[in-house]
């Protein structure tokens, strides 16, 4: 692999042991993927939640901070495993609270912005076309690649941290033009009506064409979806299909036309999605009982527009059981300023900040609270949460709200 003089110096240890570790890590990743060089990145976004790291991971971060590790580029953090304001109230333990505080302290010492959000692209770090990034979290990466036209692979926590300490990533995968062209064609024979429908599209496409190197080209949209709708589409594609990129013809920047999206490629396969297929995506999530044990909105975290929609749907009503809505600290402050938070809390909705439900020691929450059947409008959460012992029920937003209020799952 070709290295510049600065990169060779970092690899030789001129900037200290933490940077040497980071460069060694990046060279190992690049060697595995056959990268010929490194590429500078503008920012990094890292996973480092307490449930995933455990005690060994926390000690590793503290050791790097003790060695003087400092981020060279902006470094934002993905959601953590607990909302400090209510962790014990909702059934989490003091140990996960303590773990998360240690993680944040270590990352802050290294210069990270302790954002704890998976919607950094909507709030603190908006990507733009052509720039190289070192982002983790599947939803952030696919949004950056597809919607913004930026360039990033799925960077695991250590790789994103290594990129922050060196300002570099190996040039492979979606940093290169040849991996960004369409591979399969998806035609919309019916129009998604809301963000949950766009999540259903992602579910159907991801199941049909799984694989990191697949780049679905979606054609036939009669209107440009909102940022929150493409957020749900991308998050579902990344969850069900491990996709890091998609093209939406006439909407995303590298797909002004179908020919633009495919480049020199011909579509390898074709999928047509009609209303029956969308309805089938919902019907595939079968409730085990008539009512939910818990209703969850979020994953990815909710924007202020999504909280406004929920506030309108819940206004003047009262929930029948536990209902959680997850968002970022910055969005929650806006929702409080605009009155949406007050409306939702009056209805009995608990607003959680800095977290996503599946990262919140979900198995332990289920055991302590008797949660089994979980209703959500997030296709991504429905896919992931089953692995934590839940019975997921994916439904459109209004159906989820009605289930939360009536205690019964319609349909």
E-strand stretches of 235-279? 247-248, 270-273
Question: What pLDDT does 38 receive?
Answer: 98
Confidence of residue 378 (pLDDT cuts 50, 70, 90): very high
Confidence of residue 351 (pLDDT cuts 50, 70, 90): very high
Confidence of residue 246 (pLDDT cuts 50, 70, 90): very high
Question: What pLDDT does 242 receive?
Answer: 97
Q: What is the mean pLDDT of residues 236-262?
A: 98
Task: Report percent pLDDT > 90 for the chain.
Answer: 100
Confidence of residue 170 (pLDDT cuts 50, 70, 90): very high
Helix (H) or strand (E) run with residue 45 in it: strand 44-46
Question: What pLDDT does 341 receive?
Answer: 98
Question: What pLDDT does 35 receive?
Answer: 98
List, for residues 317-334, the tens digit of each pLDDT value: 999 999 999 999 999 999
Of 325, 292, 312, 327, which is closest to residue 408 (Cα–Cα)?
292
Q: What is the mean pLDDT of residues 70-89?
A: 97
Question: What pLDDT does 84 receive?
Answer: 97
Residue matched to tokens 């949406």: 340
Confidence of residue 9 (pLDDT cuts 50, 70, 90): very high
The domain covering 288-406 belongs, at the CATH homologous superfamily level, to: Aconitase, domain 3 (3.30.499.10)
Q: Hey, do 5-172 and 288-406 end up sharing a CATH topology, with the first three levels equal?
A: yes
Tokens coding 380: 């991504």
Give the sign of the dihedral formed by CA 160, CA 165, CA 171, CA 174.
positive
Domain locations in the chain?
5-172, 181-282, 288-406
Question: What pLDDT does 405 receive?
Answer: 98
Give the sign of the dihedral formed by CA 95, CA 76, CA 310, CA 338.
positive
Q: What is the mean pLDDT of residues 353-359?
A: 98
pLDDT at 217 over 90: yes
Tokens coding 91: 């059934």
DSSP line for 52-105: HHHHHHHHHHHHHHHTT---SS-EEE--BS--TTTTTTTT--HHHHHHHHHHHH
Question: What pLDDT does 63 receive?
Answer: 98
Dist. CA 232–CA 194, nearest whole Å = 10
List, for residues 81-114, the tens digit of each pLDDT value: 999 999 999 999 999 999 999 999 999 999 999 9
Torsions phi, psi of 78, nearest 5?
Answer: -75, 175
Are residues 151 and 132 in contact, defined by beta-carbon separation less than 8 angstroms? yes
Q: What's the pTM value of the predicted model, to 2 decimals?
A: 0.97
Confidence of residue 252 (pLDDT cuts 50, 70, 90): very high
pLDDT at 36 over 90: yes
**Could you tell me the fold of the domain covering 5-172?**
Aconitase; domain 3 (3.30.499)
Q: What is the mean pLDDT of residues 144-153?
A: 98
Dist. CA 221–CA 234, nearest whole Å = 15
Dist. CA 343–CA 313, nearest whole Å = 10
Q: What is the mean pLDDT of residues 155-178?
A: 97
Tokens coding 239: 């969850």
Question: What pLDDT does 107 receive?
Answer: 98
Q: Angle at Cα 245 formed by Cα 217 and Cα 78, nearest 5°? A: 150
CB atoms within 10 A of CB 349: 25
Of 353, 345, 409, which is closest to residue 376 (Cα–Cα)?
409
Q: How many CA atoms lie within 13 A of 139 on its CB side?
A: 29
Question: What pLDDT does 255 receive?
Answer: 98
């Amino acid at each position: 692999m070709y290295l510049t003089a600065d990169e060779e110096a970092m690899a030789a240890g001129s900037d200290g042991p933490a940077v040497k570790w980071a460069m060694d890590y990046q060279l190992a990743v690049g060697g595995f993927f056959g990268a010929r060089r490194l590429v500078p990145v503008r920012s990094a976004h890292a996973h480092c939640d307490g449930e995933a790291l455990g005690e060994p991971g926390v000690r590793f971060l503290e050791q790097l901070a003790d060695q003087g590790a400092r981020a060279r580029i902006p470094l934002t953090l993905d959601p953590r495993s607990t909302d400090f304001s209510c962790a014990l109230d909702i059934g989490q333990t003091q140990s996960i609270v303590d773990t998360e505080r240690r993680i944040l302290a270590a990352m802050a010492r290294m210069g990270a912005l302790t954002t704890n959000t998976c919607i950094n692209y909507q709030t603190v770090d908006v990507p733009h076309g052509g720039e190289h990034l070192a982002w983790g979290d599947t939803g952030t990466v696919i949004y950056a690649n597809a919607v913004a036209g930026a360039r990033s692979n799925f960077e695991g926590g250590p790789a994103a941290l290594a990129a922050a300490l060196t300002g570099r990533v190996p040039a492979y995968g979606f940093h290169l033009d040849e991996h960004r062209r369409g591979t399969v064609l998806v035609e919309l024979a019916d129009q998604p009506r809301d963000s949950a429908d766009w999540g259903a599209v992602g579910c159907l496409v991801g199941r049909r064409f799984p694989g990191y190197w697949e780049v679905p080209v979606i054609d036939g949209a009669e209107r440009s979806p909102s940022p929150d709708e493409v957020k749900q589409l991308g998050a579902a594609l990344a969850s069900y299909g491990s996709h890091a990129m998609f093209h939406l013809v006439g909407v995303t920047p590298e797909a002004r036309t179908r020919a633009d999206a495919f480049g020199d490629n011909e579509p390898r396969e074709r999928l047509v999605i009609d209303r029956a297929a969308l309805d089938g995506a919902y019907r595939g999530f079968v409730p085990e009982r008539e009512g939910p044990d818990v209703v969850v909105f979020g994953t990815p975290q909710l924007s202020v527009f999504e909280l406004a929609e929920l506030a309108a749907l819940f206004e003047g009503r009262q929930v029948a059981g536990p209902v959680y809505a997850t968002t970022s600290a910055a969005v929650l402050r806006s929702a409080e300023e605009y009155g949406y938070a007050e409306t939702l809390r009056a209805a009995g909705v608990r607003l959680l900040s800095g977290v996503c439900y599946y990262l919140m020691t979900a198995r332990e929450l289920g055991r302590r609270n008797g949660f089994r059947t979980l209703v959500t409008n997030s296709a991504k959460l429905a896919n992931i949460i089953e692995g934590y012992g839940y019975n997921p029920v994916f439904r459109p937003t209004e159906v989820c709200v009605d289930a939360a209020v009536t205690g019964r799952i319609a349909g």
